[in-house]
Copies of this chain bind each other. A is one copy, B any other.
Amino acid sequence: MTERFGTRLARAVAEKGPLCAGIDPHPGLLQAWGLPADAAGLEKFALTAAEAIAPEVAVIKPQSAFFEAYGPPGVAVLAKTMKVCREAGALVLLDVKRGDIGSTMAAYTAAFLPSGAELEADAITVSPYLGFGSLSPAIDVARAEGKGLFVLARTSNPEAQGLQNALLPNGKTVAQDIVDTAGGFNADQSPLGDIGVVVGATIAPGELDLSRLNGPVLAPGFGAQGATVADLRALFGPGLPGVLPASSRDVLKHGPDPEALRAAVRRTRDSLGPLENGQ
């Protein structure tokens, strides 16, 4: 039987800590590394980062947009990068924020989740603007393939506040309803369900109740964007077992030297020690 994503994730975090390291080859970083802004520069950047960082962390998160920006050759580099990361033993969470309906959502799912897909990931981020229910085709395939989903819930960018905290007829905010619906899918799963959410590490404490999620929480905003380990503890206290703090620029800015990258990711990973101990 295929092992569930939640089980695989819990084991990886127990072994290597909860850090989710981003691979975000944005143009400024390529420039800082002395690389050209083309598919060859992208490949050099992404493979250097993947080889140095992936062996050190539980989860590695390539940002699809920075690869797609280079057209079809950029997507080919993404496929290669994901393969390197998975072979190094990291779980790959592809940040693609896809969201659509019916057979179209199924097509996105087919691109990223099935075993053997060229862009095979262990999990992807998805957007619920078309309704949580529109994600069903992805949930079905994720479960069958031992893969995970991270549904956008409450992100840390200020422009997101209005829509994500809009009120539903049931009295909940949009974000809370997403967390609770994900929790419904995770009920009775142990040690952790397969349907995660994305919650910015810089939102207001108490804004979201994660106590019944029983699934992973991707928490961008840690490090360069300002959230500290203390912030993570304050914000996610009861949900800590499944929280994956995401950091990319804080590590990647130390490249292109692989040793410097490795040292940076180890420092960041080790700084999360108190987070784990606080569980």
Interface on A for B, CB 8 Å cutoff?
24, 26-28, 63, 65-66, 68-76, 78-79, 97-105, 107-108, 110-111, 117-119, 127-134, 152, 155, 157-164, 166-169, 173-174, 177
CA distance A63 to B108 in the complex (A): 11
Also in contact, A117 and B65, with CB within 8 A (given A100-B97, A130-B160): no
Contacts of A69 in B (CB 8 A): 107-108, 110-111
B70, B99, B160, B162: the one contacting A168 at CB < 8 Å is: B162
Are B110 and A134 in contact (CB-based, < 8 A)? no
Contacts of A108 in B (CB 8 A): 65, 68-69
Also in contact, A105 and B159, with CB within 8 A (given A127-B127, A127-B129, A128-B129): no
Sorted nearest first, the 3 A-B pairs with minimum C-beta distance are: A133-B159, A131-B159, A71-B118
Also in contact, A130 and B104, with CB within 8 A (given A72-B76, A79-B72, A98-B65): no
Give A157's nearest chain B residue, CB to CB: B101
Contacts of A133 in B (CB 8 A): 158-159
CA distance A168 to B163 in the complex (A): 7
Contacts of A132 in B (CB 8 A): 159, 163
CA distance A101 to B65 in the complex (A): 11
CA distance A160 to B105 in the complex (A): 14
Give A114's nearest chain B residue, CB to CB: B69
- Residue in A26, A99, A104, A177 with the greatest tally of chain B CB atoms within 10 Å: A104
- Residue in A79, A110, A117 with the greatest tally of chain B CB atoms within 10 Å: A110
A215 CB → nearest B CB, Å: 19
Contacts of A158 in B (CB 8 A): 131, 133
CA distance A79 to B70 in the complex (A): 12
Contacts of A128 in B (CB 8 A): 129, 163
Contacts A131-B157, A132-B163, A133-B158 aside, 19 further interface pairs with beta carbons under 8 A come to A26-B107, A65-B98, A65-B105, A66-B104, A68-B111, A69-B108, A71-B79, A72-B78, A72-B79, A97-B98, A97-B127, A101-B155, A128-B129, A130-B152, A131-B163, A132-B159, A134-B157, A163-B168, A167-B167
Also in contact, A111 and B65, with CB within 8 A (given A72-B79, A127-B99, A130-B155): yes
A231 CB → nearest B CB, Å: 19
A72 CB → nearest B CB, Å: 4
